[in-house]
Amino acid sequence: MFPGSLNVALKRPLRMNEVVARRFKGRHGLIWPASLNGMPVWVYRWQYAPLHVLEVLSTAHLRDSLSLADGDPVTIRINREQVDTVGWLGAWTWLLVWFGRPGWYYAHDRYASRTGPWCLHLGATQAPRVGGLTMIRRLLGKVPYASRVKRALFDGGSPSPHVFVRADAGNDFERIRNLLDYTKTSGASYSGSQYPAGYHSIEIGGIRLDGQRDPAKRLEIVPVDFTGTTVLDIGCNQGGMLFQLRDKLRQGIGLDNDHRMVNAANRIKASLLAGNLSFYVFDLEKEPLGLIRDFLPGTGVDIVFLLAVCMWITNWRKVIDFAATVSDRMLFETNGTDQQQGDQEQYLRVRYACVRLLSGSSDDDPGQKSRSLFWATNGE
């Protein structure tokens, strides 16, 4: 297959028949043979995808082969046996959430993540369909899911659809799998719950666990030799970026406000014997930013990572200001709405003398590509 996929937003909800699907990435990846504008392709979907979103895999680069640009219409043909019924409640939920704005799934991360949990429970995603009466019972509190649906609908929350069940663990790898699985209950609004490793892909003992983001692919386009450097990763999540660089770094320090993520990162660190990495719990909004200096090996670091963090905090400008005081170099990724990302880029250019766009999309993430990656420096 050609690397990557073509993202397609349909005009109406379409549930694919999982019985006839072929699977990869364990139970999470579902594919069906199809054609796109006459070319043979594979239609790809994951269980938490909205019913109007398809990704298309091919042996050719579809944009080049068919001269496609963003927003161009395409025709996808599939066999009738590959189509399942949507159900009345799923159809009405889809109309309420997505009608007239199907492209928002790729353009507005926050909207997609906030609506995702209750779309899941109301049958408006690819996840196995549940009857209308069962859905109503959930809303009336007759089954355990009701409280989570109510929080999503009425409290503006964005709970994770993942339910954690600890598995018996007989070795290091299985224990780490449990901890990574537990990170998916944090309620964070990314789509990591559908992946075995959660947010970051990681390799442990020669076995790769796929995550929502691929640190290796993310780092491919960064024009930096990390050998012998110290890196501070603010909002490190499960530590995937630092783990990917562990053999090059002199020292890496990761901070995150979620203890689940930090616990998993420290357990992986122990298994990989990555003594040059350290991970700490730190809340950027509630704790004095100056305390971050006390986690560092000296007065500063060579490079700061601030990747897809600013959307989630109100004091993001102060965090950028602080980062600029401990390092002249920053790898920065925007996230949020178009307006939010524009504001983040604008402030980054105010604070740093040289800001270089590395990529206008986050191609390491198959589900949410609408972020931009920048390399920002002072004094170079």
Q: With 60 as the cut, is the pLDDT of residue 154 above it?
A: no
Strand partners, 254: 233, 279
For the domain made up of 6-86, the CATH class stated in words is mainly beta
What is the token pair recorded at 95?
Answer: 């109309």
Q: What is the pTM of this model?
A: 0.61
> Where exactly are the structural domains of the chain?
6-86, 92-154, 220-377
pLDDT tier for residue 323 given thresholds of 50, 70 and 90: very high
| Residue 126 to residue 367: CA distance in whole angstroms | 14
DSSP category for residue 362: -
What is the token pair recorded at 122?
Answer: 């109301």
Please give the C-alpha separations between residue 15 and each of 84, 117, 206, in angstroms, as whole numbers: 5, 17, 36
Q: What is the mean pLDDT of residues 6-31?
A: 81
Helices (H), ranges, 79-144: 88-98, 104-107, 109-121, 132-139
Superfamily of domain covering 220-377: Vaccinia Virus protein VP39 (3.40.50.150)
Q: Which residue has the higher pLDDT, 81 or 25?
A: 81
| Residue 335 to residue 100: CA distance in whole angstroms | 23
Q: With 50 as the cut, is the pLDDT of residue 51 above it?
A: yes
| Residue 221 to residue 329: CA distance in whole angstroms | 16
The reply to whether 6-86 and 220-377 are identical in fold is no
